[in-house]
Structure 1
Amino acid sequence: MVSQKITVKNMTGFHLRPAGILCKIAMNYKSKVQFQFNSVTANAKSVLSVLGAGVKNGDEIEVVCDGVDEEEALKAVIAGIENGLGE
C-alpha cells in the first residue's frame, strides 16, 4: 500500500467533470484506488463516491493505492490532480 497527500487546486473542487476524469484515470489500474478526506474514504473508481466526498478547492486529500500496480496508479492519480483534472 502506498499513499500521498495532495492539495486540490481545482477552483470548483471535485464536481462532475473532474470526478469523471479522476475515475477514468483510476480505472486504468487493477489496484484499489481511494482517497481520504476528513472522515470520508472515497472510492476513486466511483463518480458518486468521489462527488459524495465533497472535496473543494484548497482541501487536502490523501490518495491511497493498494495492489499489483499501486505505484503507477498513485503517480497517475497524483499527476491528474496536479494538472487540474481537465480544468
Structure 2
Amino acid sequence: MITKTVTVINSQGFHMRPATVFAGEMGKFKSKITLESGGRNVDGKSLMNIIAACIKCGAEVKIICEGEDEKAALDKAVSMIESGLGEE
C-alpha cells in the first residue's frame, strides 16, 4: 500500500466532468484506489462515490493505492489532480 496527499487545484473541485474522467482512468488499474478527504473514504473508481464526497477546490485528498499496479495508479492519480483534472 502506498499513499500521497495532494491538494485539489481546479476551481470547481470534483464535479461531474472531472470525477467522470478520474473514475474512468482509475478503473483501468487493478489496484484498490481510495480517496480520503474531509473524514470520508471513497472508492476512487466509483463516480457516484467521488461526487458524494463533495471534494472542493483547496481540499486535501489522500490517495491510497493497494495492489499489483499501485505505483502506476498513484502516479496517475497524483498527476491528474495536480494538473487540475483537465480544468483550470
TM range, smaller chain? over 0.9
Q: How does 1:39-58 map to 2 (within 5 A)?
A: 39-58=39-58
State the TM-score, normalizing by the size of structure 1.
0.97
Query: Can you give the 5+ residue segments of structure 2 that lack an aligned partner in the other structure?
Result: none
**2:33 paired residue number:** 33
Shift of 1:46: 0.5
**1:69 paired residue number:** 69
For residues 58 and 39 of structure 2, the distance between their equivalents in structure 1, rounded to whole angstroms, comes to: 17
For residues 35 and 66 of structure 1, the distance between their equivalents in structure 2, rounded to whole angstroms, comes to: 12
The 3-state SS of whatever aligns with 1:75 is helix
Identity %: 36
How well do the aligned residues superpose, as a CA RMSD in angstroms? 0.6
Shift of 1:25: 1.4
Runs of 4 or more off by more than 2 Å in structure 1? none
Shift of 1:60: 0.4
Query: Can you give the 5+ residue segments of structure 1 that lack an aligned partner in the other structure?
Result: none
**1:21 paired residue number:** 21
Shift of 1:28: 1.2
For residues 49 and 55 of structure 1, the distance between their equivalents in structure 2, rounded to whole angstroms, comes to: 11
For residues 33 and 48 of structure 2, the distance between their equivalents in structure 1, rounded to whole angstroms, comes to: 14
State the TM-score, normalizing by the size of structure 2.
0.96
